[in-house]
Structures are given as C-alpha cells and as structure tokens.
C-alpha cells in the first residue's frame, strides 16, 4: 500500500514540478518582455487630457470655480530602464470667480523614475521645476504673474507595444498668482509614442 502511494504520487510530483518550472519561466519571460517594452532607451513624445483642480486659498475668493479641463504635451528621453528626463507644456485651466478669472499654464522639466510592476504595467514618479504664467483678469484689468516652482507627480503606465503606451497621472504644480502661491493638481490620461 505504501509502495503504491509513492509510485502514484511521483508522477503527480513531477507534473507539479514541471508546472512550477513553466510558470516561473513564463513570469521571467514576461518580466523580460516588459523590461524591453517599457525601458528601451530612446526618445518619446506624448499628450494628456486632464482635469485640473485649484488647491489651497484662491487669490480670487471663496466662490472660485476650482476645477477645469486642462492638457499637457511633452517629450523626453529614456536614459535607462528606470530613469528619463521629460520636458513639456501644460495648460492648467481657467478658474472663474465673481471678481475675475485666472488662467494658468507652464513649461516644465522633470526627472521621471519608472518601476516595473507586472508585464506591461509600470509605476511612474516624477519631480521637477515648472515656470508658470498666470493671467488674472476682471473689471477691465489684466495682471500677469510669472513664477518658478516645484512640480511633483505619480502615475501608472500600460505598454500596448514597444512603441505605444497609455499613461494615467496625478501631478501637482506650484503656481504664483498675484503674489500668492497656490497648488494646481492635474489628473490626466494620455498616449505616449516611443521612437
């Protein structure tokens, strides 16, 4: 009885071992394929559509409409599987208040870190500087304010192929508005094309 149990379980043991080896090999191959998809050094460009939210105290008062549609266009170079430099232009939106409107935009330069999570999925983190221009207009008067501030962000990327990817991101822009510094958060979704 004991001998039969051993002879019956041995083929099962081999099958399970073979399955474990196959799964391990598949995961390693998928991880390697992901590394090749997401981390190939080279240039890339992209564009995102966003929802922008004005944070902290608005310079135009408590009744300010604190959200609007925004966008960004960018280009970068992936130096290593985990590091890229990216420059871009962001339209942060137009925010309305009884005393006037605020429109903000900016040019930025970010260091972008990438960490693989699963086949075709990766996490992004970014930190950089942004040069913003805000235009405050109301009662026939327009005031422009330029400021340089900090920019941070995080997101997820899904690689469709070696040349295209989908990005979802959150970014915070530090913006000067009429001698007041405030934050604009941008939640965006867009397409990346790699060369």
- Average pLDDT value for the chain: 79
**Residue 11: band (very low, low, confident or very high) from pLDDT cuts 50, 70, 90:** low
Report the SS3 class of residue 61: coil
pLDDT tens-digit profile of 52-75? 888 655 555 555 557 788 999 999
Residue 95 region, left (φ>0) first, then alpha (ψ -120 to 50), else beta? Answer: beta
- Cα(88)–Cα(179) distance, integer angstroms: 25
Which has the higher per-residue pLDDT, 18 or 127? 127
Nearest to residue 101, comparing CAs of 138, 145, 151?
A: 138
- Cα(64)–Cα(52) distance, integer angstroms: 13
- Cα(75)–Cα(47) distance, integer angstroms: 9
pTM over 0.85: no
Whose tokens are 């900090």? That residue is: 150
């Amino acid at each position: 009885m004991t001998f039969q149990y051993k002879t019956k379980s041995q083929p099962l043991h081999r099958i399970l071992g073979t399955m474990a080896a196959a799964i391990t090999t598949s995961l390693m191959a998928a991880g390697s394929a992901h590394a090749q998809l997401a981390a190939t050094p080279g240039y890339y460009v992209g564009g995102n559509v966003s929802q922008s939210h004005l944070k902290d105290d608005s310079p135009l008062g408590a009744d300010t409409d604190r959200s609007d549609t925004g966008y960004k266009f960018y280009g970068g170079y992936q130096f290593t599987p985990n590091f890229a430099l990216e420059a871009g232009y962001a339209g942060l939106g137009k925010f309305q208040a009884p005393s006037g409107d605020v429109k903000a935009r900016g040019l930025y330069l970010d260091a972008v870190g990438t960490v693989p999570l699963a086949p075709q999925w990766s996490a992004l983190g970014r930190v950089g500087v942004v040069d913003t221009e805000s235009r405050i207009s109301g009662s026939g008067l327009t005031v422009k304010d330029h400021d340089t501030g900090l920019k941070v962000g995080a997101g997820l990327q899904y690689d469709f192929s070696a040349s295209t990817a989908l990005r979802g991101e959150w970014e915070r822009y530090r913006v000067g508005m009429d001698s007041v510094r405030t934050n604009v958060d941008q939640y965006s979704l867009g397409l990346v094309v790699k060369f």
